[in-house]
Amino acid sequence: MGVPDGTNAPSPGTENEPPPGTPEEQVNQEINGQTGVFGWWRSLFGTGEPYEAGGGGTGGKFMFASVEELDSLIKRWEDERDGIQRDKDAIAEAYGLIKDPAGDVMSRVQAGASKDSVANMWHHSDAMLRYAENYIQKLKDSRAQIQVMEDGAHDQMRSVQA
């Protein structure tokens, strides 16, 4: 079942494209796309617009067979988000532990460079956390749409049987 992520019309030229894969493949593709080298590079140097999570499928559609399947994917993304938060907290703690090893200029420069590097890691983790939270919200919105459609279909079947 495809649930629109925005418009109901397929993107031009996408009618003959293969399906997006299983929900687990879609989630892995989104996670890997953000945690890979290019996602890291984009977050550090701000090249272009920030990456927005869309549907895993063609034309921005999520593809799920059931509400239960979607619930398990939401849980997986929530676990990912929680792991990112733990990493972000550890990075913040590490930042606070960086001290000048000595009082000379080079020691201060090295400590400053270390702090800059750790700060970049923290900003990357923060961007990843926002990405995960936005993606979870999109999955929850999709779940709500699926639930409304399923409830409507059940109501319609009950009225036909009555």
Provide the domain count of the chain.
1
CA atoms within 13 A on the CB side of 108: 3
DSSP state letter for 34: H
Would you say the pTM of this structure is higher than 0.75? no
Please give the residue range of the domain that contains residue 106: 2-161
Give the pLDDT of the chain (162 residues) as one tens digit per residue: 444 444 444 555 556 666 666 666 666 666 665 555 455 555 555 554 444 444 444 455 556 667 888 899 999 999 999 999 999 999 999 999 999 999 999 999 999 999 999 999 999 999 999 999 999 999 999 888 888 777 666 666 667 665
